[in-house]
A and B are shown apart, each in its own frame.
Chain A
Amino acid sequence: DTGVSQDPRHKITKRGQNVTFRCDPISEHNRLYWYRQTLGQGPEFLTYFQNEAQLEKSRLLSDRFSAERPKGSFSTLEIQRTEQGDSAMYLCASSPRTGTSNTGELFFGEGSRLTVL
């Protein structure tokens, strides 16, 4: 078990370009979450998947953002037509939460830092 893996760790792009981040959760974790963190703030929820189904999306996730989790394994978060306000750390987490007996503990990756120039 290598933990939650995110790629790339750092991305610098020009305004208007598209970027895609990938997250590989801990194997057998059926829940996967995306959060966004800006400097000096706590992470904010973006969306989550149970297996391949995207069950909830935050209002923070504008139409320029799309997330997928094909086959219920890895997930991608794409940002189209990036804006300077998209600059942030994008964090992925996974959880084995199933049923009522699970603790609901989330395990985070190292994050993908996006800088939009």
Chain B
Amino acid sequence: KQEVTQIPAALSVPEGENLVLNCSFTDSAIYNLQWFRQDPGKGLTSLLLIQSSQREQTSGRLNASLDKSSGRSTLYIAASQPGDSATYLCAVIQGGSEKLVFGKGTKLTVNP
């Protein structure tokens, strides 16, 4: 059974700092990995998707990497801003499955 773990559960940083969020998964036979952002009481916004054959994806100040063999992904946020404050969720789709399996998320607070 696939399990996704995100560390840390919460992170507080000053504005302008670069930071890394971690995601690990137990079964490396994944189809893709997706990072989402969730604001309080809101739905999920897709940030980046990495296919199983890819190593990284970039969008603006965000960079996500994937090491499938070790079951790890990182989300790097450069020059953090207060508007980046949210919960960041990592999820994987298992090969041959249709289910996204989510971690519990990392709650990020960027202090002005």
Complex Cα distance, B51 from A59, in Å, reads 28
Contact A43 B44 (CB under 8 A): yes
Chain B 34-73, CB-CB to A under 8 Å as 1, else 0, gives 1010000111111001010000000000000000000000
Whether the Cβ atoms of B32 and A45 lie closer than 8 Å is: no
Interface flags, B93-104, vs A, CB<8A=1, else 0: 100001111111
Q: Name B42's contact: one of A58, A106, A111 (CB within 8 Å).
A: A111
**Docked complex Cα distance between A42 and B31 (Å):** 19
Cβ of B91 under 8 Å from chain A: yes
B4 within 8 A of A: yes
Interface presence of A1 (CB below 8 A): no
Contact of A106 among B41, B100, B104 (CB under 8 A): B100
Q: Is the CB of A41 within 8 A of B104?
A: yes
Q: Is the CB of B100 within 8 A of A45?
A: yes
Q: Is the CB of A56 closer than 8 A to any CB of chain B?
A: yes
Question: CA A93 – CA B102 in complex, angstroms?
Answer: 14
- Judge if B108 is at the interface, Cβ distance under 8 Å: no
- Contacts A106-B46, A113-B41 given; does A42 touch B91 at CB 8 Å: yes
Q: List 26 A-B contacts (CB under 8 A).
A: A33-B98, A33-B100, A40-B104, A41-B104, A42-B4, A42-B89, A42-B102, A42-B104, A43-B44, A43-B89, A43-B91, A43-B100, A44-B102, A45-B101, A56-B98, A58-B99, A91-B43, A93-B100, A103-B49, A103-B51, A104-B32, A104-B49, A105-B49, A106-B34, A107-B46, A113-B41
Contact residues of B with A, CB < 8 Å?
4, 31-32, 34, 36, 41-46, 49, 51, 89, 91, 93, 98-105
The 3 closest A-B pairs by CB, nearest first: A42-B102, A108-B44, A110-B43
